[in-house]
Chains A and B, each alone.
Chain A
Amino acid sequence: MSIDLKTVKHISKLSRISLDEEKAKKLETDLNSIFKWIEQLNELKTDNIEPLSSIVETKLRLRKDEIKSKNLREEILKNSPEENQDFFVVPKVVE
């Protein structure tokens, strides 16, 4: 299965990474060579194999739903590129 330029642009949209034409073409070449190499996985029959998503296969721990940290507003906002009156500022999203 090969990846065409249209697909590269679609993935770039999904990834929220803008690409110029030159970069998109370069990525088309790179991704095709990488996926051609990845295709070797198809040699393996895996129909009845249970997928492994985490190596720690114990149940996740439960904890009480209680507040442990407080008054972090300043810390949370400290690294924001733009803030106003304790809010993160983004470009206008409603008309």
Chain B
Amino acid sequence: MSNIIDLSLAELVSNIKNKKISSFETTTAFVDRSKKSKKLNSYNEDTFEIALEKAKQFDSNPDFNKKLPGIPMAVKDLFCTKNIKTTASSKILNNFIPTYESTVTDNLWNDGAILLGKLNCDEFAMGSSNETSYFGNVISPIDKDLVPGGSSGGSASALAAKLTPATIGTDTGGSIRQPASFTGTVGLKPTYGSCSRYGIVAFASSLDQAGPMTKNVEDAALLLEVMSSFDNKDSTSVDFKRPFYSKDLSKNIKGKKIGIPKEYRVDGMSQEIEKLWDDGKKYLKDCGAEIIDVSLPHTKFALPTYYIVAPAEASSNLARYDGVKYGFRTDGDNLIDMYEKTRSAGFGDEVKRRIMIGTYVLSSGYYDAYYLKAQKVRRLIKNDFNNVFQKVDAILTPSTPSSAFKIGDKSNDPVSMYLNDIFTVPVNLAGLPGISIPAGLDKKGYPLGLQIIGKSFDEQNILNIAYSMEDKINFKFNVKEWWMND
């Protein structure tokens, strides 16, 4: 048998079920490796000792009917975990210990998984490079100067470095798919309403969705199956019959119609990305799918729309951090002074910038010109997708306009950082599911991803397409273990 850390989630599950390995052996392997990987800065908080104890408990009374029997897993530090510090990588929540559990993580533990720790991310998930975290930027295991992407950067780094067999992130504008693409892993953003938002630190409530980040497509199907549930505690949770994504996974996509949106061929797109996309089309044809050119005419307006809608919702959501009920406080001369000083010292620059944008677009005199306008354009973007999905079953695009960039490269220019999410943001605005799978390497040897976008609640279909393509792509990528110390 291969090393434990090299096994996929599905392989680990089957090995544990067949009693070839124990939960304790598995947990020990990931704990040991995580302890030697501090350089990556992927963990905000570890729960290694508790995890090892829980693994022992599992082994002494194992329940092999669980979908994740005794599987250790680290999660993004945006999910509230009962009695375990949850910070959203912000100073303002630096001392916050939730007294409740998020529904998504609750689903993981109920199905047998064991928490390894909380993973670093951009502050309040605002960022595309994990450089906005109060706890410092995360390093990509691919190269010491490289960002892992963001905002689920700690999740992507820990997964690619094999510190956790799989993980979960959240995606408001690409925060699962972009880091997955940057690190050669699989990331799925489910349809809005599939996974409960209860207990996830809120960023932009009409866009936020949790989803799996895994080594391969089969693992993503399995993890989504566990994560997704109808939840009364989230008023936008949708009650639909959830399929057994992993059981129904199939490589038969014969006759599926796949749209290629011409507007995603953006100015200045590199030849490498063009070729990657062409290869993707070829693989799909080889699987018996039909390629159809389509048009999503409002694509170029998606990012500016997002940068009104998301900050507006964020400014409202983050109003709760006032130094009174929980979190960090700076004393002031009076109540207002205390609020202003607390928020000034507690939030980082990017978060402040977005709160300011959001406050401005919602303020008297500007609401119609910005916020209402953006909501109208959001309708046009959604209509584009509705029209295209009359003709096709799914859409194929690149995941990102380039491979991972270097730390510091874009941190001084907010707009150039925002442009990184050009292919992922429209999917959130329309509430659709999207999956990024590793599809090739650029000339620097860094991974590139392809994105498959599906109809609402048609995750099974995009998983099947991704599963079929994965086979043809046969992506092989092994990171050199430069960061490990004894």
A residues lining the B interface (CB < 8 Å)? 3, 7-8, 11-12, 14-19, 27, 30-31, 33-34, 37-38, 40-42, 44, 46, 49-56, 58, 60-61, 63, 72, 75-76, 78-82, 88, 90-93
B357 within 8 A of A: yes
A20 to chain B, nearest CB (A): 9
**Chain A interface helix/strand/loop/mixed:** loop
Q: Is the Cβ of B359 less than 8 Å from the Cβ of A55?
A: no
Please name 14 further chain A to chain B contacts, defined as beta carbons within 8 Å, in addition to the given A52-B379, A82-B329, sorted by A numbering: A8-B356, A30-B353, A31-B353, A31-B360, A33-B415, A38-B304, A40-B304, A41-B304, A44-B380, A53-B375, A79-B95, A79-B325, A81-B328, A91-B332
Closest chain B residue to A49 by CB distance? Answer: B376
Q: Mark B428-456, 1 if CB is under 8 A from A, else 0.
A: 00110000000000000000000000000
A92 touches B324 (CB 8 A): no
Complex Cα gap A34–B300 (Å): 15
B117: min CB distance to chain A, Å: 20
At the interface, yes or no: B177 with Cβ under 8 Å from chain A? no
Known: A17-B344, A18-B341, A46-B380. A54 touches B363 (CB 8 A): no
B323 touches A (CB below 8 Å): yes
**A11 smallest CB distance to B (angstroms):** 5
A11: B residues at CB distance < 8 A: 356, 359-360, 363
Task: Point out the residue from A3, A33, A41, A88 that lies within 8 Å of B374, measured CB to CB.
Answer: A41
Count of chain B residues with a beta carbon within 8 Å of a chain A beta carbon: 66
Q: Is the CB of A49 within 8 A of B379?
A: yes
A30 to B415, CA, bound (A): 9
Instruction: List chain B positions with a Cβ less than 8 A from chain A.
Output: 95-97, 99-100, 192-193, 206, 232, 235-236, 238, 298, 300-301, 304-305, 307-308, 315, 319, 322-329, 331-341, 343-344, 347, 352-353, 355-357, 359-360, 363, 370, 372-380, 382, 414-415, 430-431
Closest-by-CB residue of B relative to A72 is: B99
Select the residue from A34, A37, A54, A93 with max chain B CB neighbours within 10 A: A34
User: Which residues of chain B have C-beta atoms less than 8 A from A78's C-beta?
Assistant: 97, 99
Q: A19 — which chain B residues lie within 8 A by C-beta? A: 344
- Are B334 and A93 within 8 A (Cβ)? yes
Query: Given A56-B192, A88-B325, are A17 and B347 also a contact pair (CB < 8 Å)?
Result: yes
Contact B326 A79 (CB under 8 A): yes
Separation of A60 and B409 alpha carbons in the complex (Å): 44
CB closest residue in chain B, given A14: B359
Contacts of A16 in B (CB 8 A): 319, 322, 336, 339-340, 343
In whole Å, how far is B441's beta carbon from the nearest beta carbon of chain A?
A: 31
Q: A27-B356, A31-B357, A91-B333 are in contact. Are A51 and B375 (CB under 8 A)?
A: yes
Please name the residue on chain B nearest to A8 by beta carbon.
Answer: B356
The answer on a CB contact under 8 Å between B357 and A52 is: no
Rounded to whole Å, the gap between the CB of B90 and the closest CB of chain A is 14
**Does the CB pair B431–A55 fall under 8 Å?**
yes
**A81 shortest CB reach to chain B, Å:** 4
What chain A residues lie within 8 Å of B341 (beta carbons)? 18
Question: Measured between C-beta atoms, what is the minimum distance from A31 to chain B in Å?
Answer: 7
Contacts of A31 in B (CB 8 A): 353, 356-357, 360
Q: Are A38 and B372 in contact (CB under 8 A)?
A: no
List chain B residues, Cβ under 8 A from A46: 373, 376-377, 380
- Contact present for B99 and A14 (CB under 8 Å): no
| Cβ distance B382 to chain A, nearest Cβ, rounded Å | 6
Give the distance to chain B from A80, nearest Cβ to Cβ, in Å: 6
3 residue pairs, one from A and one from B, having the closest CB atoms: A55-B431, A51-B375, A79-B326
Among residues of A, the one whose C-beta sits closest to the C-beta of B352 is A17
Whether A79 and B96, one on each chain, are in contact in the complex, defined by CB atoms closer than 8 angstroms, is yes
Q: Which residues of A contact B336 (CB under 8 A)?
A: 16
Say whether, besides A17-B347, A30-B414, A75-B99, A3 and B360 are in contact (CB < 8 Å): yes
Report chain A residues within 8 Å CB of B99: 72, 75-76, 78-79
* Smallest Cβ-Cβ distance to B308: which chain A residue: A38
In-complex Cβ contact of B301 among A44, A49, A88 (8 A): A44
Which A residues are in CB contact (< 8 Å) with B235? 60-61
State A12–B315 Cα separation when bound (angstroms): 12
Nearest CB of chain A from residue B98's CB, rounded to whole Å: 8
Least Cβ distance of B379 to chain A in Å? 4
Give chain B residues whose Cβ lies under 8 Å from the Cβ of A3: 360
